[in-house]
Amino acid sequence: MKANQLSRLIQINHVLAKHRLDEVIKAIHLLRPLRYFSFLSPHRWRNKQSTLPRGERLRLALQDLGPIFVKFGQVLSTRRDLLPPDIANSLAKLQDQVAPFPAEQAKQLIDKAYEAESLNELFAHIEPEPLASASIAQVHAATLKNGEQVVIKLVRPGIEPIIKRDIALLYTLASFAERYWSEGKRLRPREIVAELEKNLFDELDMLREASSASQLQRNFEGTTLLYVPKIYWKLTKPNILVQERIYGTPISDTEGLIAKGVDMAKLAEMGVEIFFTQVFKHSFFHADMHPGNIMVDIHDPKKPKYVAVDFGIMGTLSPDDQRYLAENFLAFFNHDYRRVAELHVQSGWVPADTRLDEFEAAIRSVCEPIFARPLKEISFGQLLLRLFQTARRFNMEVQPQLVLLQKTLLNIEGLGRDLYPDLDLWKTAKPILETWMKEKMGWQAALRTLQQEAPHWAETLPEMPRLLYDLSKRAQEGQFNVNLASADIQQLRKEIKQASYRSAAVTAGAAFLVGAAVITGLDGYATTMFAGLPILSWVFGLWGLGLIYFSISKKS
């Protein structure tokens, strides 16, 4: 472990001790040797916050540890299938808000980005005070020379080294969790950290965010559901995003929306339609749809329109995941629990040897009490959450590609119910899913596939007779070989080889230690002594300890 990681680890231990999170210190293997120092901290005995619930103490600790740990807490808050409800609810309150960097520094960043052009030629005015400031970037209002109002999003200077340091430490902690925590391997914490790392570095790339906004804009072009601000590509750089400044009523201002005469039922149903359209029609969805990133255009209260901002985190699903999710949703609401169990096995979400009858019974025990309520009271997000919790008993592995989807679904559903408590989410979602299934699995889908593949078949079919003749001839002559060397086999060979090296190193190290002890115990053995022991004992002992340490460090 590097010196900067060790110092950061000590700081983490101090913050956890400050908030009396002893159970977290004990659970993290790497912090156990440091836990005794926590008793020397004056915060441990003077901190009045120690009487707060554990979820609140954890939230405050993550805030103290900085923006990267705040982001990590936000990712964890979406894993309600893994966390106790009190902790998940507290972590959901984490806000990615930090003090803004100085206006002069912001101006220097903008000057540097447009070094070939004068700012006076590009902008009529740039507001020195930011509109918003977060861990990755901050936003300034500006006016172009032609009078158009825009916002400038600047990546926070010096944030990348901080991200790399904390992500490296999180990987270390995740590795220890996988080794020493009974649930570690199944929950795949390193993949969760990898997902966080990908999201953070995606958010650093303003060109990527701009391209995501443009793609979302094209997807909803010609519809009245969602408006995406215009991107000014000529002014956008890797660390600067310039886009149209938009105005609207915050989605959380329900009283204001009602006062303006907005049809709240229609607005809630539109939000659900936007989500399912993104997921199942476009396979590209805004994955950070919290109230701060959504506004409503109410120029015509009878025809409201959603306005989205902040496209740093976007989600995608593979065609297989789309199909399994759509079939799962439809099977749920048709009470076809056998099909739900089969889909989980077919998708690889649970092991292939899972007993379908037992899994079906477990799913039924979860779903039937929920479906006994009116449809408008059923929560899609909570249904998925309960299902994942049940599937844990059948060794269901965490699916990182579904984490963003689950988080976004919970956000959308919560917003919809805040706008219109009687929202029947299934009434809105079912037609979208059924239409998608017909498009993907009906005769029209088969016809489209034939049309897409026809040019390829026309090119390869004439070669088929010759290829079949060559294949049969090689088989007759005994020249037909099947290559079974896959990447997994190569990885297995590598791990076996490394394990043999470690075993040999441990054996040799133990032999040297035994040799050192034997030389020390020889009666009357005359040799050069150091600190009461023969020099050769020191050499053998240190060499043996070195070999053992080498084998253990390689394993970790």
> Which residue among the candidates 166, 288, 321, 424 is catalytic per the annotation?
288
Among 72, 94, 116, the domain-final residue is 94
pTM over 0.85: no
Question: Strand runs (DSSP E) across 71-164, as ranges?
Answer: 123-126, 132-133, 137-144, 149-155
Instruction: Looking at the structure, tell me whether residues 327 and 264 fall in a common domain.
Output: yes
- For residue 308 the two structure tokens come to 């989205």
Tell me the H-state helices in 372-486. 380-392, 400-419, 425-441, 443-460, 464-476
Tell me the H-state helices in 237-379. 254-259, 264-276, 319-333, 337-346, 356-371
Q: Is 484 annotated as a binding residue?
A: no
Instruction: Looking at the structure, tell me whether residues 276 and 415 fall in a common domain.
Output: yes
Q: What is the pLDDT of residue 114?
A: 87
Q: Is 136 annotated as a binding residue?
A: yes
- For residue 175 the two structure tokens come to 């590795």
Q: What is the pLDDT of residue 407?
A: 75
Instruction: Looking at the structure, tell me whether residues 35 and 72 fall in a common domain.
Output: yes
Q: Is 139 annotated as a binding residue?
A: yes
Q: What span, in angstroms and rounded, lies between the C-alpha atoms of 519 and 538?
A: 10
Residue 50 inside a domain? The answer is yes
Q: Is 132 annotated as a binding residue?
A: yes
Q: Which residues are CB-contacts of 293 (< 8 A; sequence separation ≥ 6)?
A: 286, 308, 309, 310
Residue 106 inside a domain? The answer is no
Query: Is residue 233 within a helix (H) or strand (E), and if so which, with residue range?
Result: none
Q: Is 225 helix (H, G, I), strand (E, B) or coil?
A: coil
Q: What span, in angstroms and rounded, lies between the C-alpha atoms of 285 and 401?
A: 12
Let me know: does 288 contact 216? Beta carbons within 8 Å: no
Task: Report, in angstroms and rounded to the nearest whole number, the Rg of the chain calculated over CA atoms.
Answer: 30
From 36, 30, 64, 288, select the one nearest 180 (Cα to Cα).
30
Q: What is the pLDDT of residue 386?
A: 74
Q: Is 391 annotated as a binding residue?
A: no
Q: What is the pLDDT of residue 81?
A: 58
Q: Is 375 annotated as a binding residue?
A: no
Q: What is the pLDDT of residue 22?
A: 66
457 burial via Cβ count (<10 Å: 0-12, 13-18, 19+): exposed
Instruction: Looking at the structure, tell me whether residues 393 and 454 fall in a common domain.
Output: no
From 66, 72, 74, select the one nearest 12 (Cα to Cα).
66
**Total structural domains within the chain:** 4
Instruction: Looking at the structure, tell me whether residues 269 and 297 fall in a common domain.
Output: yes
Range of the domain at 179: 159-199
Handedness of CA 98, 104, 108, 110 (dihedral sign): positive
Q: What span, in angstroms and rounded, lies between the C-alpha atoms of 272 and 274?
A: 5
Beta bridge partners of 296: 249, 306
Query: Is residue 295 within a helix (H) or strand (E), and if so which, with residue range?
Result: strand 294-297
Listed as ranges, residues in the chain with pLDDT below 50 are 34, 36, 484, 526, 556
Q: What is the pLDDT of residue 182?
A: 65
**Catalytic residue status for 488:** no
Let me know: does 57 contact 47? Beta carbons within 8 Å: no
Q: Is 298 annotated as a binding residue?
A: no
Instruction: Looking at the structure, tell me whether residues 429 and 467 fall in a common domain.
Output: no
Instruction: Looking at the structure, tell me whether residues 334 and 478 fall in a common domain.
Output: no
Instruction: Looking at the structure, tell me whether residues 314 and 412 fall in a common domain.
Output: yes
- 228 to each of 231, 244, 263, how far by Cα in Å? 9, 9, 22
Which residue type, as a one-letter code, is found at position 457? Answer: W
Q: What is the pLDDT of residue 43?
A: 53
Which residue type, as a one-letter code, is found at position 283? Answer: S
Q: What is the pLDDT of residue 165?
A: 85
Q: Is 331 annotated as a binding residue?
A: no
Q: What span, in angstroms and rounded, lies between the C-alpha atoms of 349 and 394?
A: 10
- For residue 292 the two structure tokens come to 């701060």
